[in-house]
């Protein structure tokens, strides 16, 4: 049985992915800051600040999936917070690399989460492909550093970076926040409502990770976005429809959202499309290509 070690496996994506990997016959381990004795899979400790990893976590590992990361939109981007965002993605990846350098027992695959905001929080008609350069804004720079830490593994193992769009799930993430007012008939476009909102159903994202583990031809960066591209106002309208509510609320002004959230508001108020052609060419087929079906599955 192949062993998969997941960093940040206790989170939203990690929880779904762990279930799918177990179902597909992989043995799963987690690397966590706070291993729980009653965890569903063997869970080992690491301390990124102190540079410690439990060596047992790394024994006979076939694949590593690097999901750890403090929430990018959870807080304002103070200098302190940015250090946490970088340490949890970049330092953590390098810590694991150094730990394996000591043993020389390299896994076959290193798959890292990455974000579609690699291309920047910008509203445009450009459809970004993997050949586009990273943006020079806060999250663009963070994501570039995150991917560079993943690339450092390429001398030893196959590296895949999944530039992930907004993940739609029942239990958390953006959808639960957007759906709460929509249930009460208060779904409204955010800001101009014209910003594009690339998205992916959590089951499809989990399936992409498994696909990337198995397909040894996959290498480098891949955009992960469902085929149906929507703008924010279409997304908010689709939410209202799922709950059979009318959709006539006025736009929530961008300045109000910026006043509450600060710079992270850009992640909500701006956005462009991302091409999934490279992923599709690797043979991946989305189970939820259309937003209405994804929302119906998750919310009804």
Ligand X SMILES: NC(=O)c1ccc[n+]([C@@H]2O[C@H](COP(=O)([O-])OP(=O)(O)OC[C@H]3O[C@@H](n4cnc5c(N)ncnc54)[C@H](OP(=O)(O)O)[C@@H]3O)[C@@H](O)[C@H]2O)c1
Residues at the interface with ligand X (CB under 6 A): 8, 10-14, 32-34, 48, 67-72, 84, 88, 92, 113, 115, 164, 166-167, 173-174
Retrieve residue 31's tokens.
């690397």
Least spacing, CB of residue 232 vs ligand X, in Å: 15
Measured from the CB atom, is 178 or 188 closer to ligand X? 178
Measured from the CB atom, is 169 or 252 closer to ligand X? 169
Cβ-Cβ contacts under 8 Å for 113 (sequence gap 6 or more):
13, 65, 66, 67, 69, 162, 164
Measured from the CB atom, is 164 or 187 closer to ligand X? 164
Measured from the CB atom, is 70 or 249 closer to ligand X? 70
Least spacing, CB of residue 72 vs ligand X, in Å: 6
Least spacing, CB of residue 254 vs ligand X, in Å: 21
Least spacing, CB of residue 100 vs ligand X, in Å: 18
Which residue's Cβ lies closest to ligand X? 11
Least spacing, CB of residue 114 vs ligand X, in Å: 7
Least spacing, CB of residue 173 vs ligand X, in Å: 4
Interstrand relation of 52-53 and 43-47 (parallel, antiparallel or unpaired): antiparallel
Least spacing, CB of residue 14 vs ligand X, in Å: 5
Among 226, 202, 208, 228, CA closest to 298: 202
Measured from the CB atom, is 168 or 236 closer to ligand X? 168
Q: What is the spatial distance between Cα 175 and Cα 183, in angstroms, rounded to a whole number?
A: 12
Measured from the CB atom, is 70 or 152 closer to ligand X? 70
- Which stretches of the chain are assigned E, i.e. beta strand? 3-7, 27-32, 43-47, 52-53, 63-66, 109-115, 127-128, 158-164, 166-168, 199-201, 220-224, 273-274
Q: Are 110 and 150 in contact (CB under 8 A)?
A: yes
Least spacing, CB of residue 223 vs ligand X, in Å: 11
Q: How far is C-alpha 299 from the chain's CA centre?
A: 20
Retrieve residue 222's tokens.
């891949």
Measured from the CB atom, is 32 or 187 closer to ligand X? 32
* Cα within 13 Å of Cα(282), Cβ side: 24
Q: Are 25 and 51 in contact (CB under 8 A)?
A: no
Among 175, 64, 65, 161, CA closest to 118: 161
Measured from the CB atom, is 48 or 230 closer to ligand X? 48
Q: What is the spatial distance between Cα 127 and Cα 133, in angstroms, rounded to a whole number?
A: 13
């Amino acid at each position: 049985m192949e062993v998969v070690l997941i960093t940040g496996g206790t989170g939203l994506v990690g929880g779904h992915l762990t279930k799918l990997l177990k179902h597909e016959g992989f043995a799963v381990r987690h690397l966590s800051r706070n291993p729980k004795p009653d965890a569903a899979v063997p869970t080992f400790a690491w301390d990124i600040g102190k540079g410690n990893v439990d060596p047992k976590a790394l024994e006979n590992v076939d694949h590593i999936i690097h999901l750890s990361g403090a929430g990018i939109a959870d807080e304002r981007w103070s200098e302190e917070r940015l250090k946490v965002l970088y340490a949890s993605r970049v330092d953590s990846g390098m810590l694991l690399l150094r730990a394996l350098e000591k043993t020389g027992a390299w896994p076959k695959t290193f798959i890292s989460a990455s974000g579609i905001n690699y291309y920047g929080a910008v509203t445009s008609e450009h459809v970004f492909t993997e050949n586009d350069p990273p943006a020079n804004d806060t999250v663009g720079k963070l994501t570039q550093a995150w991917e560079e830490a993943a690339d450092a593994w390429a001398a030893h193992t196959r590296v895949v970076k999944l530039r992930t769009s907004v993940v739609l799930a029942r239990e958390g993430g953006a959808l639960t926040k957007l759906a709460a007012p929509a249930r009460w008939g208060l779904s409204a476009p955010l800001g101009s409502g014209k910003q594009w909102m690339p998205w992916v159903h959590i089951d499809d994202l989990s399936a992409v990770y498994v696909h990337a583990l198995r397909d040894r031809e996959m290498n480098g960066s891949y955009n992960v976005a469902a085929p149906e591209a929507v703008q924010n106002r279409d997304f908010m309208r689709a939410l209202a429809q799922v709950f059979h509510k009318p959709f006539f609320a006025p736009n929530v002004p961008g300045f109000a959202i910026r006043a509450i959230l600060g710079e992270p508001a850009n992640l909500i108020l701006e956005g462009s499309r991302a091409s999934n052609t490279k992923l599709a060419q690797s043979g991946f087929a989305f189970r939820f290509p259309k937003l209405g079906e994804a929302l119906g599955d998750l919310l009804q």
